[in-house]
Amino acid sequence: MAKNDAPEEKTGRLKQIRSAYQLTKKSDPRIGLILAGIFLAVVAVFVVVGILVGPLLVWIPLGVALGFLAATIIFGRRVEKAAYSQIEGQAGAAASALQTLRRGWNVTPAVAVTKNADIVHRVVGRPGIVLVGEGQPSRVKNLLAAEGKKHQRVAGGAPVIQVVAGKGEGEIDIRKLTKHVMKLPQALQPSEITDLLQRLKALDAVRPQVPMPKGPLPTSMKGARQAMKGR
């Protein structure tokens, strides 16, 4: 990385954090006070410890560092909660959540869409092919079953798993969707995933491209995570 790229990268991270803070403040107006309170409370504890056991010069910097860490962790959780609350119930919400999956996962939003806004998204990773449906439960299950058959033909033995995103019985809340996908049993090796993706290209080649609604989650929560991790 060139030397002049570092300031630009730092500026980009600050913009991401600022954007995430502004998003969170809309649904959580007291976020600033909460973060400041957490930071000061942790620092205060370490100041008291420093006074009691000394020396203060050791305990105060430690308290500042841990106070900042605690505030950062709480901020990340609040950002995530605010982002999910803004997209929940919207078409494409599941895709927005899935796009926060880290490396090793290939997410294709809206591989199938109906005129009633029932949608199936596809995730490919170590568990195999995960088809995630969102929409009216009975309709989306039929759509998932049809997509499952299509994917089985090109899966080459890889598991094809069907998941319905929602809040009903047997459905996965979008707030827990990525964790659910990541916890699925691993069945494929990286080389097998590469081969599977190549086979899926043939299936996708005959599909019309469908534009997906762009929710706030990928640009806010994911960006904030990257910024706080220094990426």
State pLDDT tens for residues 63-105.
Answer: 999 999 999 888 888 877 777 766 666 667 888 888 888 888 9
In angstroms, what CA-CA distances link 144 with 138, 140, 149?
Answer: 10, 6, 9
Instruction: Kindly report, residue by residue over 126-172, the tens digit of the pLDDT.
Output: 999 999 998 888 888 999 999 999 999 888 889 999 999 888 888 88
DSSP 8-state code for residue 87: H
- Where does residue 157 rank: exposed (0-12), middle (13-18), buried (19+ CB within 10 A)? exposed
Check: CB of residue 203 under 8 Å from CB of residue 150: yes
- Whether pTM > 0.75 for this model: the answer is no
